[in-house]
Amino acid sequence: MSFSILFFLILITMATADPLRPGYYSETCPEAESIVGDVIMKAMIREPRSGASVMRFQFHDCFVNVTTGCDASMLLDDTPTMLGEKLSLSNINSLRSYEVIDEVKEALEKACPGTVSCADIIIMASRDAVALSGGPRWEVKLGRKDSLTASQKAADDIMPSPRANASFLVDLFAKFDLSIKDLVALSGSHSIGQGRCFSIMFRLYNQSGSGKPDPAIEPKFREKLNRLCPIGGDENVTVDLDATPQAFDNQYFKDLVAGRGFLNSDETLYTYPWTRPYVKLYSNDQDKFFKAFVEGMIKLGDLQSGKPGEIRTNCRVVNSRAVDVLLES
């Protein structure tokens, strides 16, 4: 075994040793969290929609199969030998603002080279996007490492469709030891942002193959959606996910109770008996929603693979081909 491969073996072995904890960078990069917050704030001033986009990165990263967890695999660009997650069904034409994470990483590399992982950047940036949108702020556990690979198939196999119903989502979240309470609270991430007409055309015009709209949609809201998303129209047109799309609040749940949920996966949280009590609770009590959302985000952030990792210097690519040699040996 060559010295370079041995070096990477030692480096990667060490990279799996530390448990997640608050204040992980207090000595190695004490300004890390403030640097992340500053970049996210500037990005949201420049483009308000980036807050919702960045916040969703945590779900799309941590949720990609039980064996991967929060490892920034979703940030890797495709290579000639690897199809990554950016073009997966749940991410293509949906996730955006990757450049914001690039800006954060560039700022951190200037301050503390080779220290802060892209996986931790996602966790901090998601928290800051929520807080800067009027939602809660919480202490995050850090110390993750970045994956050495990504898989489009893994993303396609696990990420739920906007057509999913609450029953399916309950079972899916249970695979990650996330409760019904966690599911409903984390769905409140749709308190900010927009969705594409593409995601609801079946609800408006052919729910369950009936040739009719979803009867759960409130009539006046359906008329509005019909105008914004007509048959034969541009399905990339975006529509607000709730009535206050730039404010992280409990309006999302109030809208579900009123039959004004945008996605099928949203509205069925109210029509499904197991999830309805939490929707009603959070629609009436924003503080309880915030508390449950924070608990859910922390649990989501705890999902780890235990696989070897590294600290990428560029979130879009692994650091060295030597890693590939090691994995193939």
Q: Tell me which residues are annotated as active site.
A: 60
- List the structure tokens of 306: 């235990």
C-alpha span between 58 and 300 (Å, rounded) = 8
Pair 240, 141: CB distance under 8 Å? no
C-alpha span between 303 and 152 (Å, rounded) = 19
Beta bridge partners of 194: 240
C-alpha span between 29 and 189 (Å, rounded) = 29
**Measured between alpha carbons, how far is residue 40 from residues 52, 95, 205, 206 in Å?**
11, 16, 38, 39
C-alpha span between 299 and 135 (Å, rounded) = 18
C-alpha span between 59 and 139 (Å, rounded) = 17
CB count, 10 Å around CB of 138? 16
What residue has token string 């396609």? 156
Residue 147: half-sphere exposure toward Cβ, Cα within 13 Å: 23
What residue has token string 């040739």? 211
Name 29's Cβ contacts closer than 8 Å, sequence gap at least 6: 108, 111, 112, 115, 116
3-class DSSP assignment, residue 319: coil
